[in-house]
Structure 1
Amino acid sequence: MSASRLPLSYYAATASDASQHAPLEGALDCDVCVVGGGFTGVSTALHLIERGFDVVLLEAEQLGFGASGRNGGQIVNSYSRDMDVIEARYGAETARALGSMAFEGNRIIRERITRYAIDCDLKEGNLFAACTERQWQGLKDHRALWARYGHSELELLGRDAYRREVGSKRYTGVLIDHSGGHLHPLNLLLGQVRAFEAQGGRVFEGSPVISVTPGEPACVRTERGEVRASKVVLAGNAYMSGLLPDMERRSMPASTQIITTEPLTDAQARALLPTDRAVEDCNYLLDYYRLTADQRLLYGGGVSYGGQDPDSIEGAIRPKLLTTFPELSDVRIDYAWSGNFLLTLNRLPQFGRVEASVYYAQGYSGHGVTCSHLAGCLVAEALAGDGSRFDAFAGIAHRRLPGGRTFSVPLSALGAWYYQLRDRLGW
């Protein structure tokens, strides 16, 4: 059994490393076995091996097969629920703890890129675009909120000024985060894998995990092998099934779709995004877009609850692109794909332990690029003996989805329809 190929996407077509790793066969011993070859798993594995741990990484498909190799490539700070909501629901102490880490994932990514000379098309800056006057006021509040937690690299541009950033008439203003950015996520991942292997890390693809048995040691079994480890880290996110049944009742896969145009001319690219920053709007079902290194417009949006794709990805996303940039009506779409992320009811990530030997981190609810890199750092800290920051997340209670996943999908879709109507009416 060899690892499956990555789903066709712009990222897969421009990946920096096409090599594959053999599946696990036989028995191995190590300090830590990490299950999942996406950002969470790879970040964890790299942080651990830097600390001197002997680490084995198992991936069911191919490295980057899940959301880490398919996302919008935007470096967006904080969490899917912002600090005011966290403070109101979980108290000032939890808000202070999470607030102190809200902008750390961004810094970790840049440190990884610099330390290991990872070529992943990093570009600086991202911005949030308001489609209504209500959203514009929300951006002003957002800037003040982040300033309370020490983040000041923000700039507001109103209706008369934002067009220097975005060549679309649909917005009322934008908030620029100068510390954000965008990149090729799959190449970021693969660069970290190479760094992990260069330090002695062992990687196996095409090795879906059948069972995890906590203990001393814990035992991780695949179809043709097993790993005995002092600790296990489960990092499969939306693509892990059956290994964390209780958490599965408290989260749900959701898919988002992306299209990428043919390469644009210099003039076209400058007209759309003059400063080459990434953009996401402020709608509940938001659109997000950016230019790639070869000047394609990568445009995503929409959410399908339960992880099901629309009949036509291009048919679902192209109208959104044309609402923003009607001048691209004749542009060719070269790539169209989707991928699942894991959604939690409170939109905050799920960190925790199963007994003493099995750790997990997942459920970033659309903010996985930065938060997954933070997660890897926190898991490594905990396994090295300091679990204080990990426990700030692990202490957050996660309620079960109403009706389980079967009934939560239509309920979530109904809720999304309501918020989409609010967006359209400007409520």
Structure 2
Amino acid sequence: MAVPSHTTSYYAASANDKNFRPALDEHINADVCVIGSGYTGMSTALHLAESGFKVVVLEASRIGFGASGRNGGQIVHSYSRDIDFIEKHYGKETGTEMGKMAFEGGNIIRRFVDQYNIDCDLKEGGIFAACNNKQLHEMEEKKALWEAHGHKQLEMLSADSIQQYIGTSRYEGGLLDKSGGHFHPLNLVLGEAAAFESLGGVIYESSEVTKVDESTHAKDGKAKVHTCNGSVTADFVVVAGNAYLDGLIPKLEQKAMPCGTQVITTAPLSKAQQQELLPQDNCVEDCNYLLDYFRLSGDGRLIYGGGVTYGAREPEKIESLIVPNMLKTFPQLKGVKVDYAWTGNFLLTLMRLPQFGRIGSNIYYAQGYSGHGVTSSHLAGKVLSDAIQGQAERYDVFAGLPQYPFPGGRTFRIPYTAMGAWYYTMRDKLGI
């Protein structure tokens, strides 16, 4: 059998663990079967293994093959829609409860890294960069909002002071989050997988799930997960495929849309260049709707990403989409060599909030972080683990959020969403 490969990314080329786990070729039993080995799946599996559960993880390709191994690698707190939006639309109690969890995902990442000695180039500090005065005012409001929910490690930056952190005159100021940070995303999930295996967990790669049977027997209440050459019978199943379910559970896919984002990585920069671009070695994302994000890698490359393609369409020339934005921010990089360029899918929901829920009594799912999944997915793993252990209060806060299908179904969701993105992009450009 041919061993599946990762995308041609910088992360895959610099992965700490390139070993392949064998495919499932037998019929086995477990307490919990997790479908997908990204952040949601591995956070869930590791939390459960820490509590003594026998857990099996099934991965259709390679560990971290999807967004978890391809993203910008930034610790950004809260959700794609912030706490004030949640409170306004779903009530103060829901906003308060989600506010209590909004900053937990980053702490989970740091605990995993510290406890299991995960080598993933973790560095501290993140910046939200404002491209105009309207966005700067929004960052002042974000600071007040987050501080009201207990997050105090924030500092406003003026147009002058932000240049101490970012070597460009592009920004009108920004918000420094001292508890933000950045890391090598694929090495993080590979380290989590190794930690899970050290506790007795088992991961099967190249084991695409073909069918999930809900519990049909009142006597044992178990679910059965099928692959081409084997199966797992389990008390609980966690569906964590996110944008890569590929038709497995249509009722989940109808409620969200895969979208692509593009990333490039330069050749290694000199120490002087690194110091000029990001002298404090923080990660950055701007405040546009279709935002840019960038940081330095552990070996001194600039990783720069942005843009969205709706419906997970593969763009023909990634560099042509991203390099102009990079040069707008850092014109001093004109002529720099791009060593890697790739795209990857995240899952967008209509309300841009995660979707948690149950199918039957013992199949759980979490998906749709809408481009804000690094911390939210790690939180999801903890909340899923707690729910399976009978502490479902926090899980039910997420599960209580309404889950709407995109208008027009599969045929029209892409053009409708693209039209909305165009509208917000024009607002960004006009500063309104």
TM-score bucket (shorter structure): over 0.9
2:305 pairs, out of 296, 300, 304, with 300
Q: Letter of the aligned partner of 1:107 in structure 2?
A: N
Is this contact kept in 2: 1:231–1:358, CA < 8 A? yes
1:409 pairs, out of 414, 418, 423, with 414
Specify every segment of 5 or more residues in structure 2 that has no aligned partner in the other structure, as ranges.
216-220
Structure 1 position 202, deviation (Å): 0.9
Partner of 1:391 in structure 2? 396
Partner of 1:40 in structure 2? 40
Partner of 1:208 in structure 2? 208
Q: Letter of the aligned partner of 2:59 in structure 1?
A: E
Q: Letter of the aligned partner of 1:402 in structure 2?
A: P
Q: CA RMSD in A?
A: 0.7
Partner of 1:113 in structure 2? 113
Partner of 1:19 in structure 2? 19
Partner of 1:332 in structure 2? 337
> What does the per-residue CA deviation read over 1:13-49, in whole Å, with 9 as the maximum and x for residues that have no partner?
0000010011100100010000001111011101001
Q: Letter of the aligned partner of 2:375 in structure 1?
A: T
- Equivalent residue runs for 1:19-418 within 5 Å: 19-215=19-215, 216-418=221-423
Partner of 2:218 in structure 1? none
Structure 1 position 2, deviation (Å): 4.5
Partner of 1:9 in structure 2? 9
Whole-Å Cα distance in 2 between the matches of residues 402 and 76 of structure 1? 29
> What does the per-residue CA deviation read over 1:152-211, in whole Å, with 9 as the maximum and x for residues that have no partner?
110001112110011111100010000010000110101111111111111100010000
Whole-Å Cα distance in 2 between the matches of residues 305 and 177 of structure 1? 30
> What does the per-residue CA deviation read over 1:247-298, in whole Å, with 9 as the maximum and x for residues that have no partner?
2111000000000000001111111001000000000000000000111000
SS of equivalent residue, structure 1 residue 100? helix
Q: Letter of the aligned partner of 1:131 in structure 2?
A: C
Whole-Å Cα distance in 2 between the matches of residues 156 and 100 of structure 1? 23
Whole-Å Cα distance in 2 between the matches of residues 179 and 336 of structure 1? 29
Is this contact kept in 2: 1:168–1:325, CA < 8 A? yes
Structure 1 position 3, deviation (Å): 4.0
Q: Letter of the aligned partner of 1:334 in structure 2?
A: D
Q: Letter of the aligned partner of 1:181 in structure 2?
A: G
Is this contact kept in 2: 1:2–1:205, CA < 8 A? no
Whole-Å Cα distance in 1 between the matches of residues 229 and 249 of structure 2? 21
Q: Letter of the aligned partner of 1:79 in structure 2?
A: Y
Q: Letter of the aligned partner of 1:12 in structure 2?
A: A
Whole-Å Cα distance in 1 between the matches of residues 317 and 303 of structure 2? 17
What TM-score does the superposition give when structure 1 sets the normalisation length?
Answer: 0.99
Q: Letter of the aligned partner of 1:173 in structure 2?
A: G
What TM-score does the superposition give when structure 2 sets the normalisation length?
Answer: 0.98
Whole-Å Cα distance in 2 between the matches of residues 124 and 111 of structure 1? 14
Q: Letter of the aligned partner of 2:409 in structure 1?
A: G
Whole-Å Cα distance in 1 between the matches of residues 2 and 35 of structure 2? 17
Q: Letter of the aligned partner of 2:62 in structure 1?
A: Q
Compare 236-245 and 336-345 and name the one that shifted more.
Answer: 236-245
Q: Letter of the aligned partner of 2:333 in structure 1?
A: L
Specify every segment of 5 or more residues in structure 1 that has no aligned partner in the other structure, as ranges.
none
Whole-Å Cα distance in 2 between the matches of residues 414 and 331 of structure 1? 34
Moved over 6 A (4+): none
Q: Letter of the aligned partner of 1:398 in structure 2?
A: Q
Whole-Å Cα distance in 2 between the matches of residues 325 and 292 of structure 1? 16
**Percent of pairs with identical residues:** 56
Whole-Å Cα distance in 2 between the matches of residues 39 and 398 of structure 1? 22
Whole-Å Cα distance in 2 between the matches of residues 413 and 144 of structure 1? 32
Whole-Å Cα distance in 2 between the matches of residues 289 and 54 of structure 1? 39
> What does the per-residue CA deviation read over 1:354-401, in whole Å, with 9 as the maximum and x for residues that have no partner?
010100011101111101100000010011110001111001011110
Q: Letter of the aligned partner of 1:344 in structure 2?
A: T
Structure 1 position 242, deviation (Å): 2.4
Is this contact kept in 2: 1:3–1:22, CA < 8 A? no
Whole-Å Cα distance in 1 between the matches of residues 415 and 3 of structure 2? 34
